[in-house]
Amino acid sequence: MGWADRGERDGKDGKAVRVEITGLSKEYGRVRALTDINLTIDKGMFGLLGPNGAGKTTLMRIVTTLLPPTSGSVRVGSYDVTRQPGEVRRLLGYLPQEFGLWRRLTAFEVLDYVASLKGITPDRRRREEVGRVLETVRLTEAAHRVVGSFSGGMRQRLGIAQALLGDPSLLVVDEPTAGLDPEERIRFRNFLSDISGDRVVILSTHIVADVESTCSRLALLRRGELIYVGSPDELRSRARGKVWELQLSEREYQQLQTSHRVVSSRRVPGGVAARVLAGVPPCGGARAVEPDLEDAYMWAMGVTGDA
């Protein structure tokens, strides 16, 4: 890989690791969940964006050693996830889409138990490590509260705390803001950005705003295939000249819906104001506007045949 030394590749002498996915496919019987995925992820926040059912969770489960690929390979640093899962797990922190917490235990008890499962010993070191991650996720004052009393945002922060035990070089979070209210979602994604630093953080989500506000690079996954890898700005530039705003009568708007992709609409005096995706002006009076990431995401999905 051309890196300076094994320690840097392994994440042992600092957190700089690289995730390299090559020719990765996954099949469940006759169903192909992933097809020939090729992707390189370096340190910082990386967004994996796609609709539900696109294959994001399957890809994350392979990266985190929980699911074997049908073909292809994944390397985390210098380790292969299939042949060296134990070494990969030493570098890994994972918050799955559904993470069950013991609601009758305190936050400290949950983390102390998980730290034991991760082999963090002796007891003094384990207590220090639990205290460190509680402080990192700003739950120190809630350490001895039972988890059942936590808000959704606090439970997600506790989920991140267990993933941070052992100070991993790679942190994988799958749909972490689903179910959070808007204020909690903003706080949580800002927190993820804060802790990315010199580690790799992979954020898998179907919520465009989570990626737009935190990730410098992203990949779009559709029906198990990568359709884009690059920066948010590059993706937005692809939709430039394809986003239009116009005002229509109610009848004209109903007709427009049958022939064009409407991103958003709102009722206004005299009719409907709509934001539309189209390669050419959809009608007279349409005004080209600068695309945001959601526009660009929908355009990319549309031009590959998604409805």
pLDDT at 187 over 90: no
Distance CA 181, CA 54 (A): 24
What does pTM read for this prediction? 0.87
Kindly give, in sequence order, each residue whose CB lies less than 8 Å from that of residue 162, ignoring residues fewer than 6 positions away: 93, 95, 99, 110, 111, 114, 133
Q: Give domain 6-231's CATH architecture.
A: 3-Layer(aba) Sandwich (3.40)
Distance CA 210, CA 181 (A): 13
Tens digit of each residue's pLDDT (9 = 90 or more) over 10-48: 555 455 689 999 999 999 999 999 999 999 999 999 999
Average pLDDT over every residue of 255-280? 93
Distances, alpha carbon 112 to alpha carbons 82, 94, 162, 233, 235, in Å: 29, 17, 9, 42, 43
Q: What is the pLDDT of residue 249?
A: 93
Q: Which phi and psi angles does 137 have, rounded to 5°?
A: -95, 10
Residue 34 per-residue DSSP state: E
Taking all residues of the chain, what is their mean pLDDT, rounded to a whole number? 89
Distance CA 208, CA 217 (A): 13
Which residue in 96, 180, 198, 114 sits closest to 189, CA to CA?
180
Q: For tokens 């985390």, what's the residue?
A: 76
Up-side HSE of residue 134: CA atoms within 13 Å toward CB? 21
pLDDT at 303 over 80: no
